[in-house]
């Protein structure tokens, strides 16, 4: 049973245990077997992996604890606002989207999470591994965590493979059974984990380049099918071009894109669309 957002659950303990075990096996088993902790190469790799593991833990903690974005009490869309060129409506009836459970209107791209029992701004999905929703406020930190985790997994695999290929002297063979067991277990954990995280990272990079959430992707598939059925073309309204899409998620400062900091753009209640008139365009 899922706990309240921000609380420790079994999946969170599983992630922390996996990080701890991979770190122990990589730094205290694989590196000493291959490079040795008394060499410059061994110390450098141990320090680099330690820093990477610390970054994973820090970003994971922020993703678990950060609020994905709440809808302000009494929110109501301003249909007469000329600056809001897109208003999301229900498929049936054409009314503005209203959450019957939260008793308020839904801002653009917001959805109700059945696990968190509230509406989340620009909701992407509810992730059991962080016991939290991924939304407007914490999407970037979630993405950075997955990126760090992918790099850490492949880095650990390289060090583990190197330790396996490294020939251990015969007089040390008797004391290396436990280290071999640790390496085998770690390899069994890392292989599917690295693949799954790499696929997840690739998926979200694809979404970011089109300025979509996971929910919007699935909604877009249906919208595209309906548009083609009616002889029209479907265009995702929030797709502003690759660079603008990256800025909208990662922030305006390109040097902070991969930094574990929360620098969301906007308040999550209104988003630029491809129908907006550019500021640089002179009035007619």
Integer Cα distance of 245 and 217 in angstroms: 15
Integer Cα distance of 72 and 136 in angstroms: 14
As a 3-state breakdown, the chain gives helix, strand, coil percent values, each rounded to 5, of: 50, 5, 40
Strand partners, 136: none
Integer Cα distance of 29 and 17 in angstroms: 17
Helix (H) or strand (E) holding 250: helix 242-250
Cβ pair 44, 10 in contact under 8 A: no
The one-character DSSP state at 275 is T
Measured from the Cβ of residue 147, the count of other Cβ atoms closer than 10 Å reads: 20
Of the residues 127, 133, 153, 186, only one is catalytic, namely 127
Is 127 one of the annotated active-site residues of the chain?
yes
Integer Cα distance of 143 and 5 in angstroms: 18
Long-range interactions of 236-241: CB distance < 8 A, separation 24+: 236/210, 236/211, 236/212, 236/274, 237/86, 237/273, 237/274, 237/275, 238/109, 238/211, 238/212, 238/271, 238/272, 238/273, 238/274, 239/210, 239/211, 239/212, 239/274, 240/211, 240/272, 240/273, 240/274
Question: Which residues have a catalytic role annotated?
Answer: 127
């Amino acid at each position: 049973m899922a706990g309240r957002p921000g609380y420790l659950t079994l999946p969170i303990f599983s992630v922390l245990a996996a990080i701890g075990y991979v770190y122990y096996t990589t730094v205290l088993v694989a590196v000493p077997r291959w490079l040795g902790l008394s060499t410059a190469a061994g110390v450098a790799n141990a320090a680099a992996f330690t820093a990477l593991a610390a970054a994973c833990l820090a970003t994971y903690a922020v993703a678990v604890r950060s609020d994905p974005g709440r809808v302000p009490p009494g929110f109501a869309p301003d249909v007469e606002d000329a600056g809001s060129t897109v208003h999301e409506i229900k498929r049936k009836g054409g009314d503005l989207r209203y959450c019957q459970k939260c008793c308020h209107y839904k801002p653009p791209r917001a959805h109700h999470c059945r696990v968190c029992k509230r509406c989340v701004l620009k909701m992407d999905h509810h992730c059991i591994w962080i016991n939290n929703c991924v939304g407007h406020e914490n999407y970037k930190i979630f993405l950075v965590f997955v990126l760090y985790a992918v790099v850490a997994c492949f880095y650990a695999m390289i060090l583990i493979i190197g330790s396996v290929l490294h020939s251990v002297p015969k007089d040390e063979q008797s004391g290396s059974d436990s280290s071999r067991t640790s390496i085998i277990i770690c390899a069994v954990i890392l292989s599917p984990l690295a693949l799954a995280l790499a696929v997840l990272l690739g998926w979200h990079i694809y979404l970011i380049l089109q300025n979509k959430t996971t929910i919007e992707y699935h909604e877009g598939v249906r919208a595209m099918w309906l548009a083609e059925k009616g002889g029209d073309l479907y265009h995702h309204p929030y797709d502003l071009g690759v660079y603008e899409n990256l800025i909208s998620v990662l922030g305006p400062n390109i040097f902070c894109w991969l930094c574990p900091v929360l620098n969301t753009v906007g308040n999550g209640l209104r988003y630029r669309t491809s129908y907006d008139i550019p500021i640089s365009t002179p009035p007619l």
